[in-house]
Amino acid sequence: MTERAGITGRIFKGLGLVLGGKAGAGLISLVYLIIAARALGPRDYGILVLVHGYVTAVVGIVEFPAWQAIVRYGAEASAEDAPHRLARLLRFGTAVELAGGAAAIIAAMALAPLVGPHLGWPPETVAFAIPYSFAVLGSVRSAPAGYLQLIDRFDLIGLHNMVQPLVRLTGATLAWLLGWGLKGFLIAWLAAALAEFAVLWGMGLICAHNRLGMVLRHPANGSAVRDNPGIWRFLVASNADVTLSELAGRIAPLIVGWVMGPAMAGLFAVAQRATVIIAQPAQILGNTAYAELARMVAAGQGGAPLRRTLTRVIGIALAAAAPVVIIAALFPTQIVTLLAGPAFKAAGSVMVVLVAARMIAVIGPPCSSALSAMGFPALSMSANLFASLIFLPVLPLMLHHWGLMGAGAQAVGQALLASILLASLVWRRSLAH
């Protein structure tokens, strides 16, 4: 019991360190949301959300994040006290991720003129979307994040969480005071993405250099692929899993904008924003749990001990999310009006449903992390793929019949199905592990 409680404690300690930054970031994000929504109104705010959402969706599909491989195989290298193996792994993960980021930028630039008009972007916004594609870099930073997790520097990850909102707040304030309009806010969002990229890579490189020194720059001859058998298969499966688990959240706003126009996309974005208070801790919990679960599996504790730890983690997460759902259900209109102003109050009802969906989805990230830690990322990918294939294609039809509430119903259904599948798979695989 003591060891299990210790592992759970370390998971939530890491979560707490990261959430310390996220809490401050969340407060700041509320301020820049208030500024942007009131300065732009539903239509232009919807366009801002759609442009950034488009770039986020492209990078989510095309990028090739390496953090899970760095944590899993890096844990083995650390346990073996093999710094040269770790250095080769870090260099390999960096090369893979940066190549994926470059491909995502090119794809975003190429598709913007084709997709933009269907999302209601005016011509000047379509033109600016091409340079805005460099905002892709804001998401190309999982390799340094993975290394910081590996060495338990969750404090730095928490500090980094403040970068994007601080830059956005500064830019949004300038755009509002100087009357720069939509383009000014887009420039602020782009600057924030570039700052996210630069700061986290800087943190990761400094920490890796301090720990590994010359080994990082000049590791002994060898190959990360030979050092870590199955790493390519693991990378492909884990990346497909991440892509599919986040696909609905990234694609849904674009489908709303495509079917119902930028103004309704703006309402949906404000409703979604209220769910971040659950969604971000859940995703961070999955990430912080992964390192500990990977260590448990490496130590031969992938069966009953893993299940008990996972049950405790999910139970605590659900209990923490429940009050948020209750508050949202009691005061939906007041919350939306506070966040974005009276022009957005129609988003209140769908916000309640989206918050409920997020609470259900809390189960998913820790279960996906457990499957990946046991070496089965493809199973997590399959569960998320199945849930997406069932519910995403029917979203346009649901929007036509039920308006924005259709998006809420779609989110609940997909979260419920994916959570049931993931929990069942973890239970079955851990029994045989």
CA distance 384 to 390: 10
Which sign does the torsion angle of CA 250, 256, 257, 263 carry? negative
pTM for this model (two decimals): 0.77
Closest-CA residue to 84 (of 191, 219, 210, 180): 219
pLDDT at site 271: 86
Distance (Å, rounded) from C-alpha 272 to C-alpha 259? 17
What is the identity of the amino acid at 31? V
* pLDDT reported for residue 183: 94
Largest CA distance in the chain: 63
- DSSP-derived secondary structure letter, 303: S
What pLDDT, on a 0 to 100 scale, did the predictor assign at position 10? 54
d(Cα 393, Cα 48) in Å, to the nearest integer? 25
Check if the beta carbon of residue 306 is closer than 8 Å to that of residue 4: no
pLDDT at position 342, please? 87
Given a contact cutoff of 8 angstroms between Cβ atoms, the answer to whether 109 and 133 are in contact is yes
User: Where do the domains of the chain lie?
Assistant: 2-432
Q: How far is CA 287 from CA 14, 148, 283, in A?
A: 9, 12, 6
pLDDT per residue as tens, the chain (433 positions): 444 445 555 555 554 544 444 556 667 787 888 899 989 988 999 999 999 999 999 988 888 888 888 888 888 888 888 889 999 999 999 999 999 999 999 999 999 999 999 999 999 999 999 999 999 999 899 899 989 988 888 788 888 888 999 999 999 999 999 999 999 999 999 999 999 999 999 999 999 999 888 888 888 888 888 888 888 888 887 777 677 667 767 888 899 999 999 999 999 988 887 776 655 555 555 556 666 666 677 666 667 777 787 887 788 778 777 887 888 888 888 888 887 888 888 888 999 999 899 888 888 888 887 887 777 877 887 888 888 888 888 999 999 999 999 999 999 999 999 999 998 998 888 776 5
Token duo for residue 315: 């139970």
pLDDT of residue 1: 45
Sign of the four-CA dihedral 199, 286, 409, 277: negative
Of 152, 137, 373, nearest to 241 by C-alpha is: 373
Q: Are 267 and 336 in contact (CB under 8 A)?
A: no
